[in-house]
Amino acid sequence: MNFSDTDQEKAATESREEFILPSGCSDFDRRFAATLQAFENQPRPEVFAAAALASAATAQGRICVALAEFAEERGWVGPEAELLVAERWQAPPLDHWTKVLRESDVVGEPGSFHPLILDAEGRLYLQRYWRYEHQLASRLHEMSRGEVPRVATADILQSLTEIEERGMQLAVGQRAAVATALLRQLTVIAGGAGTGKTTIVACILRLMGEHCGSPGFRVRLAAPTGKAANRLAEQLHHARNTIDPDGRIDTILDQEPATLHRLLGGAPNGVHFRHDRQNPLPLDVLVVDESSMVDAALMAKVVEAMPAQSRLILVGDPEQLPPVEVGSVFGELVGDGANFSAAGANLLEEATGVPVPPVPRQPGRPGAPVRDCVILLDESFRFSTDSGIAALANALREGNAPRTFAVLDGDYADIEGIGDGEQMDAEARRRIRRGYQPFVEALAAGADPRDVLQAAADFRVLAVRREGAHGVVALNEMIEGELRAHGGLPPAAPWYAGRLVMVTRNNRTLRLFNGDIGVALPDADGRLKVFFEGSGQLRQVAPGRLSHVETVFAMTVHKSQGSEYPAVVIPVMTQHYAML
């Protein structure tokens, strides 16, 4: 039925014109709410506002809207809700609001098939997102209690001791992460940059190869993006030299890391996958890196496709940027960190040989048995706790913009603010030229493409946003101009030797993925090609075959997630307070 031609929709449209839209809601949210009203005999402003708010919540990455945040005398509770309250719109009392919603034709209780789902706690969902959350909660809870063939704690302790005897010292949290992965069906490993997450993945694979590596035992590695998958492969390659000298990992590792979309068997731009509950993935262990980037919909597809007795290991940094789409599953699982039950702590102590104190469960934290599956790595091996980078990271995690700028103005060896206005602009240009000088010298010397790419990877300019005076687009134009003016790049052209580019869309034919970085250089015959390196291999592609790339002397902070650079320049202005 075409509702745009019915009297019912016209009546709903006329009725909704009298309804006030909460601020923070877009025209799309208004249209969505109005469309739902076409299904009701008696359009109600309470339903209209709730539907618009539920739609707006998903646009902000939230899986539901808590009506209690709005149904107060002040109209809101908490900073997120404050953004959605209009001066003209006042939320009704919570009891009245939920009563009207439960009487609505478009709102149902959990498990029903209605456009909107209202649960007992007053959380309102769009149908599909309630379904994703329900599937995830049920399956992950089931996996947290799941039985898998356990490795004896004595064997785990012996293997950890042998790894350390080869010179790899493991922190308490790292030992606990390895043991948990060998003892449980679900493991969640959370840690910031430099806490050794990839090292732990290598240790886990090594011990699985040693204790679980029966014929046919299969481990797959995956990540949400091609760039993250390639980065995982490179990091594991380096870590294995120390941890796995006799190649035990090779006996169980099935293929190179893949994107989750490709692992599940998804068609390009499709939402359905070949692997699901009826056709599970052919594996025994799945390790997902950069799990903080995985949204609720994709994570639901992943857990649905896991075989009954397979292990799932989620690895990531909950403090990194959340998924682009709806639902921060990894962040919700991690909560405030590890809080082991008494039984869980005792089991880990047996397997690691170090005391693991139980933590009383706190409100808002994952409940048992999920709590025993979460490991928090809090010891950084990349920078000390009193460094400028650590101070800056803490200020940013707290959302404290004044403190952030105070750190930038502080006296640290590893971080420096360079003023503002013309002073900042001139100094930033000088720093950028100096940062890219090894890259320019490699170009001038006709160095091997690998060396040119490595020189480029040692420095990067990161921007808070794409557009604007200090956005990625303007910064790339400025950097090209600066390098060209000082003889570092040839004259301007669509493609030129030294152009640094990033792939912006997956291309399976060329085996290039969103986030891959390459450089344009002449090949042995003097023809311009674009060189990419991944998994230890160098590939070259004709520029004409690359339709989705952009210049990347500067990139957004979001695009840099999962990367490592010895030095960066980040233009940060006072007007970026909200984004900080």
Domain with CATH 1.10.10.1020 in the chain: 17-129
Compute, in degrees rounded to 10, the torsion defined by CA atoms 258, 261, 266, 269: -130
Average pLDDT rounded to a whole number, residues 177-187: 93
Task: Write down the pTM of the prediction.
Answer: 0.80
Average pLDDT rounded to a whole number, residues 478-503: 91
Choose the most confident range, by mean pLDDT, from 76-85, 229-238, 281-290: 281-290
Domain at 17-129, CATH class = mainly alpha
Task: Convert the pLDDT of each residue in 308-353 to its tens digit.
Answer: 889 999 999 887 777 778 888 888 888 756 678 888 888 889 999 8
Query: Is pLDDT above 50 for 436?
Result: yes
- Name residue, tokens 């098939």: 113
- The terminus-to-terminus CA distance of the chain in angstroms comes to 47
The size of the chain, in residues, is: 580
Give the integer Cα–Cα distance in Å for 300 and 541: 36
Query: Is pLDDT above 90 for 43?
Result: no
Quick check: 124 and 53 in contact, CB under 8 A? yes
Task: Convert the pLDDT of each residue in 388-432 to its tens digit.
Answer: 888 888 888 777 878 888 888 888 888 777 766 566 678 888 889
Average pLDDT rounded to a whole number, residues 269-280: 82
Task: Convert the pLDDT of each residue in 119-169 to its tens digit.
Answer: 999 999 999 999 999 999 899 999 988 888 878 999 999 989 988 887 788
315 or 371: which carries more pLDDT confidence? 315
Residues 6+ positions from 412 with CB-CB distance below 8 Å: 387, 388, 391
Average pLDDT rounded to a whole number, residues 3-20: 46
Query: Is pLDDT above 80 for 437?
Result: yes
**522-528: long-range contacts, CB 8 A cutoff, minimum separation 24:** 522/497, 528/495, 528/496, 528/497
* CATH number belonging to the domain at 418-579, selected among 3.30.160, 1.10.10, 3.40.50, 3.40.1340: 3.40.50
Please report which confidence band the pLDDT of residue 497 belongs to, taking 50, 70 and 90 as the band edges.
very high
Q: What are the backbone angles phi and psi of residue 214, rounded to the nearest 5°?
A: -75, 160
Choose the most confident range, by mean pLDDT, from 2-11, 79-88, 115-124, 221-230: 115-124
* CATH number belonging to the domain at 146-377, selected among 3.40.50.1370, 3.40.50.300, 3.30.565.10, 3.30.70.20: 3.40.50.300
Eight-class DSSP state of 90: -
Domain with CATH 3.40.50.300 in the chain: 146-377
Q: What pLDDT does 368 receive?
A: 55
Task: Provide the residue type at 377 as one letter.
Answer: L
What's the farthest any 2 CA atoms get from each other in the chain?
78
Query: Is pLDDT above 70 for 224?
Result: yes
- Across the beta sheet with 459-463, the strand order is 554-556, 459-463, 567-569
Choose the most confident range, by mean pLDDT, from 56-70, 261-275, 372-386: 56-70
Query: Is pLDDT above 50 for 174?
Result: yes
Q: What are the backbone angles phi and psi of residue 248, rounded to the nearest 5°?
A: -65, -35
> What mean pLDDT is reported for the chain?
82
467 or 521: which carries more pLDDT confidence? 521
Choose the most confident range, by mean pLDDT, from 17-26, 368-377, 380-389: 368-377
Residues 6+ positions from 513 with CB-CB distance below 8 Å: 225, 226, 227, 229, 230, 259, 503, 506, 507
Give the integer Cα–Cα distance in Å for 197 and 376: 10
Q: What pLDDT does 378 receive?
A: 81
Which secondary structure element, helix H or strand E, spans residue 566, and what is its range? none
